[in-house]
Structure 1
Amino acid sequence: MARKTGSHSEITGPRIRAVARALFARHGFAAVSMRQIAAEVGVQAGALYLYTPDKETLLFDLLKAHMDELLAAWDAVPAGKDPLARLEAFVRFHIRFNLDRAEAVFLSYMELRNLGPENFAVIEGLRRDYETRLETILRDGVAQGRFVAPDPKVASLAIIAMLTGVTTWYREGGRLGREAVGDVYWDMVRKAVAA
């Protein structure tokens, strides 16, 4: 029997992805077996293969879904002409979006190495697309004399790394709320590229 009585694909598929994401983030991709995922979901191990052909594909799907969601969410943010306002919007967006997805962010950085070359290239391309959005803001600011960034590509990578790091230390109910964290990070980024 592949499915438990009463199980539904529209429930089981998302549950498999959520459980895999949590287990991969907690224990590492290599340490988690398909049997562990199945046990946590409450299905037989063979049932997982109705939803994914293998563990790497499951990881790839998680990483790609995260990047697709990130890109779509950023692209939905209204873009103005002013590079300073766009940079602030990017900083606040990145923090807000990623704080709600700390496990997905962790996997995107720590488990990318477990993808085969084709899957790696897809995720790397999506990451590059996102980095280019910030790089474009920086280039526009430099062109207008608003920012100083001798190498906007390197600056964009440094800023994204700094912003993403918030997911490793931020805790709900801690000393700073989300808005205050956004204020602090915005102040640091603004000063880093100040003309």
Structure 2
Amino acid sequence: MARKIGSSSDITGPRIRAAAMQLFARHGFAAVSMRQIAADVGVQAGALYLYTADKQALLFDLMQDHMTNLLAAVDTLPLQPTATAQLDQFARFHIGYHLDRPEAVFIAYMELRNLSPDNFATIESLRRRYEDHLQTILTQGADTGAFTVPDTKMATLALIAMLTGVTNWYREGGRLARADVQTLYADMALRAVGGRL
């Protein structure tokens, strides 16, 4: 099928991905059809297959992009001298990064169950790489006596769940400014592992 007049891969492709992200986040992956995505973009349903193999591939691409971009961003953080400073930085980064991408975060966590086994394994591997950043900080802090962490893996998962949870309730213009939330949560993260600023 020919592309719609005026469309191009560098315009229509991103529009398809943006529409899919909004629809998946609003209605859930299983409830959204390729026809709905096409209608949102303004193309015929068959045209979507010029840009993606199927709905599963579209979901996987959205999740993979989210995780690879997250990993690239965390890798750019400046090195901090202590585990305490590193955890403070990580908590602030995690909240700030995820608050800017609530739809991507929702999909990355809530739609894992809809990935094929191979796609699930790929995304889980990327998630583990991100978790390793935090676990390394906690291990270093425990080794130096800065933190009290009986199980660094469990603490890693608990802290990430706590920090990510901000996206469920935070709204710009609410009672607390973003910077205030980052400060409060960074402090809670430190206290949770027996550390303090």
Give the TM-score of the pair, scaled to structure 2. 0.97
Q: Distance in 1 between matches of 2:140 and 2:106?
A: 30
- The Cα of 1:187 is off from its aligned counterpart by 1.3
User: 1:106: which partner in 2?
Assistant: 106
Q: Distance in 2 between matches of 1:171 and 1:160?
A: 19
Aligned length: 195
Equivalent residue runs for 1:1-195 within 5 Å: 2-195=2-195
Map Cα deviations across residues 75-133 of structure 1 (whole Å, 9 max, x no partner). 01112231011001100000000000000000011101101110000000000110011
In 2, are the aligned partners of 1:2 and 1:44 still within 8 Å (CA)?
no
Corresponding letter in the other structure for 1:147: F
Corresponding letter in the other structure for 2:89: A
Q: Distance in 2 between matches of 1:85 and 1:135?
A: 14
Q: Distance in 1 between matches of 2:131 and 2:18?
A: 26
Which consecutive aligned stretches of 4+ in structure 1 deviate over 4 angstroms post-superposition? none
Name the SS for the 1:119 alignment partner.
helix
Q: Distance in 1 between matches of 2:152 and 2:81?
A: 18
Q: CA RMSD in A?
A: 0.8
In the alignment, structure 2 segments of 5+ residues that lack a partner are: none
Q: Distance in 2 between matches of 1:167 and 1:50?
A: 33
Q: Distance in 2 between matches of 1:186 and 1:21?
A: 29
Q: Distance in 1 between matches of 2:127 and 2:152?
A: 16
In 2, are the aligned partners of 1:146 and 1:194 still within 8 Å (CA)?
yes
* Matched-pair identity in %: 66
In 1, are the aligned partners of 2:67 and 2:127 still within 8 Å (CA)?
yes
Name the SS for the 2:84 alignment partner.
helix
Give the TM-score of the pair, scaled to structure 1. 0.98
In 2, are the aligned partners of 1:139 and 1:152 still within 8 Å (CA)?
yes
Q: Distance in 2 between matches of 1:174 and 1:11?
A: 35
Q: Distance in 1 between matches of 2:99 and 2:145?
A: 32
In 1, are the aligned partners of 2:16 and 2:38 still within 8 Å (CA)?
yes
Corresponding letter in the other structure for 2:130: Y
